[in-house]
Amino acid sequence: MCGIAGFLSSDAALCDRGLLRLMCDRLTHRGPDAYGYFCDHPVALGHRRLSIIDLSGGNQPLGNEDGSVQVIFNGEIYNFQELRRDLITKGHRFATKSDTEVLVHLYEDAGERLPEYLNGMFAFAIWDSRRQTLFAARDRLGKKPLYYSFSAPGMRFCFASELKAMTALPGFEPKLNQRAVADFLALSYVPDPDTIYQNIYKLRPGHSLSVTPAGASVRKYWEPQFAAEPAVHFDQAVEQIRQLGKDAVERRMISDVPLGAFLSGGVDSSAVVGLMAASARSRVKTFSIGFTDRRFDELKYARVAAEHNGTEHYEEVVCPSVHETLDTLAEYFDEPFGDSSAIPMLYLSRMTRKHVTVALSGDGADEIFGGYRRYYFGVLEEGLRQRFPAWFQRSVIKIGARYYPKFDYLPQVFRAKTLLTNLAQDLANSYFTSMSTFRDGGLERVLAPEIRESIRGYSPRENFRERFLAVRELPPLQQLQCVDLQTYLPGDILVKADRATMAYSLESRSPWLDYRLVELAGRLPSSFKLYGRIGKFAFKKAVSPYVPQALIARKKMGFSVPLAPWFRTSLKPTFESLALGPGMEKFCSRREIAKLWAEHQSGLHNHDRKLWNLMVLACWDARQRPTAEAGALAAMAGRSN
């Protein structure tokens, strides 16, 4: 795992090692072990290395025999050994044992089809001096980040693993992307390909980019495919999942440095640990965190899995310092990021890095095998819609949704407003409603007048609808999964995993996101994933030999924190100084923020997710400006230690 950065300069004087070093110094946390560079006008390539494979011989940039092809690479290629053997038989000569060198020689053979041959997580850039072409690609699911821009002063093109490296370039001060502010408040992240800045983009998952003397082009080389409802035998599907899962885990255990696994006590991470234990030559190291608040503590379940597999288990009980974590979020995430589960993820990563350099995780199984409760409710609601005529949905149900009272303080089972609201909409709109924090009128009211005017005609909801329209012929469950693979997975889950682990120079690997498993899951009928109320049905059958039965049957808990009470206690002064303070008016209506704040304090309404997004946005803004606000934020973090 590493950090990469580089540019194509339009002026030979700007092809400078000093500028490249400025960029790479901001990525030291991603690669503390080594720094390497290649500068030859018009290209400059920089690399920060976290050494994982071929510790002595894998330094980058790395070139072919005559130096005409140079690569910088962030990630891991899990099938590099097979690719290497094949390339050797074709006459290629290797100078190292690293997976990086495979990219150079495979590019010589396959050109821009290179990423199609790779099984891994990756973001890389290749300079082809003969063609004067820069070729970059990002892995199929978006596990590794790659940002780029054509707008840096004096540069034809620049790119990096993180935004902070690009904004290190002198004179590059991109403007706020006001549409992205609306997207963030609605979704709690900024979806690909946009970023919080104008004219800086994320390369989409499964895409490559070429910059040539004639111009630039982006190409899609892969996307998840879903079959309508194929005829597949259940037992055969279970066995395929089991065998592919076993292979995916074993490939991700290749490492020349200490390796372990995150263990939450849920099915997904417990299955990874069980498969690791079945093939490991020594005890697997596992890592869990718990909380002093027992409602959010899964340690007892993690211990069950650890004892079942005889792991060398490490755990910590933490009482999160939210002030400290807010500063860390702003420092390492670069964009506003509102998924509060990043808090425990940061603590888990920090603890794990004390013992290992690589950790396997259970990320991705819910998205590809249908594990979320929202999938069950989405399919259920779609079935109910089909029973009502359109006029009934448009009139009776819609009116009921509008006037049914909203009782946030009651247990969830008694809250019918969301159900009525969803039934009055189609699948795309109801899913956006379920996934969003601020929406429609609420988003309109909270945005500052200048932003409302600037983005008039744009709606985060319409962005979602367009994605659903592209897959409208699929069954409801597969529509939901397909949209999640384009939005929530790369925009939220994988950003959280990458930034939280890289903040502590820890590499995270996700076996369930092996693209072969994703393609297999796409070919399975919906009933193999969601069987009645049971999510991940075939997946759970496949991993059951490796997971204690008590964990297979338990209710999904999730990685969450008690935001609602925090905003009424320890977070009150922080919110009031940041989100209710001067500076937020350029983003939001301070009157609307104050209204939400007062309603939450009353206890009759729970606005915790809305308040968290507002505070994260204010925190991010404070960190962008070297002002008293940024200093106050750092001071709050220091006082909390």
By annotation, the residues acting in catalysis are 2
Q: Is 447 exposed, middle or buried (0-12, 13-18, 19+ CB in 10 A)?
A: buried
Phi, psi of 509 (to 5 degrees): -125, 140
Q: Tell me, what amino acid is at 123?
A: A
| SS3 label, residue 318 | strand
3-state secondary structure 28-63: HHHCECEEEEEEECCEEEEEEECCCCCCCCCCCCEE
**Residue at token pair 């999904």:** 556
DSSP label at residue 94: -
How is residue 42 written in tokens? 């018009």
**Residue at token pair 């005890």:** 283
3-state secondary structure 554-596: CCCCCCCCCHHHHHCCCCHHHHHHHCCCCCHHHCECHHHHHHH
Of 111, 196, 99, 123, the residue nearest 491 (C-alpha): 196
Helix (H) or strand (E) holding 5: strand 2-9
Q: How far apart are CA 397 and CA 40, in angstroms?
A: 66
Contacts of 458 (CB under 8 A, 6+ apart): 179, 182
Q: How far apart are CA 122 and CA 130, in angstroms?
A: 24
- Strands of the sheet with 201-202, listed across from one edge: 34-40, 43-49, 2-9, 155-160, 147-149, 201-202
Helix (H) or strand (E) holding 243: helix 234-251
Q: How far apart are CA 461 and CA 476, in angstroms?
A: 18
Q: Is 335 exposed, middle or buried (0-12, 13-18, 19+ CB in 10 A)?
A: buried
